[in-house]
Amino acid sequence: MLLNGKVALVTGASRGIGAAIARELAAQGAAVGVNYYRSEAAAGEVVAAIQSAGGRAVALAADVRDGDAVRMMADRLAAEFGGVDVLVNNALHNYRFDPVANVPFERMDWDGFQDQIDGTVRAAVHTCQAVLPHFRARGGGRIVNILTNLITHPVVQYHAYTTAKSAMLGFSRNLAAELGPENVTVNMIAGGLIMTTAASEPTTPEVQEIVRGSTPLRRLGQPDDIARAVTALASDLLGFATGQYIAVDGGLTMP
């Protein structure tokens, strides 16, 4: 197994893409911390599914915008399984991809942007700082940040969400440059339209068809597509890659 003996923390892992990532990392041998904010029952179901398949997992409650809560979460995971080797920043705060309800730029206020920046960039700053001492104790680590192909192909103008994810690209590359000498890689997965998650459920059939028809592989993404890509970056398969923005969207974007 690609991740045998490793310990991974996945934020926002109680459902959707995060749950798929947690299950895939566990299937490849990692012990997994399944982070959740409010969805305790759903996180418990993910942990139970991993354990029933012979894997190891624990549910970890924390608001990733809260630095103290995140540090306690990372320390608890390390105490439970002996360390931390992998961090996946996947948590999505309070956002739904609804092209009908999407607010045009001229009617937006700053609070919407700040909310997404806090849920994305602030959260990643906290999680990366929290796991770094544990990475150093293990001689290195892997960070995988979940972005979006809307950065390069804004088919619908989800301003606040895409702005926050764009900031994550710069954050990730600066972090990759600084932590590389410590054997820590930092890479990014940019997914396309992933069906169906709680966030993507409002996407209209018309928008789905536009995306599907424009995608070379002629299908929409599924959570497992992202999960398998994360696993490759979390393992040694791509251990010599860092600072990379990898689009996993069927070829819709080719950055």
**Is the peptide bond prior to 253 cis by the omega test (within 30 degrees of 0)?**
no
Strands of 31-36's sheet, edge to edge?
56-61, 31-36, 7-10, 86-89, 141-148, 184-191, 245-248
Residue 44: CB atoms within 10 Å: 14
Catalytic residue check, 161: yes
DSSP 17-52: HHHHHHHHHHHTT-EEEEEESS-HHHHHHHHHHHHH
Q: Are 124 and 74 in contact (CB under 8 A)?
A: no
Q: Are 216 and 249 in contact (CB under 8 A)?
A: no
Q: Are 105 and 157 in contact (CB under 8 A)?
A: yes
Residue 145 makes CB contacts below 8 A (sequence gap 6+) with 88, 89, 124, 168, 171, 172, 186, 187, 188, 189
Residue 92: CB atoms within 10 Å: 23
Phi, psi of 204 (to 5 degrees): -70, 155
Catalytic residue among 36, 37, 161, 245: 161
Give the catalytic positions in this structure.
161
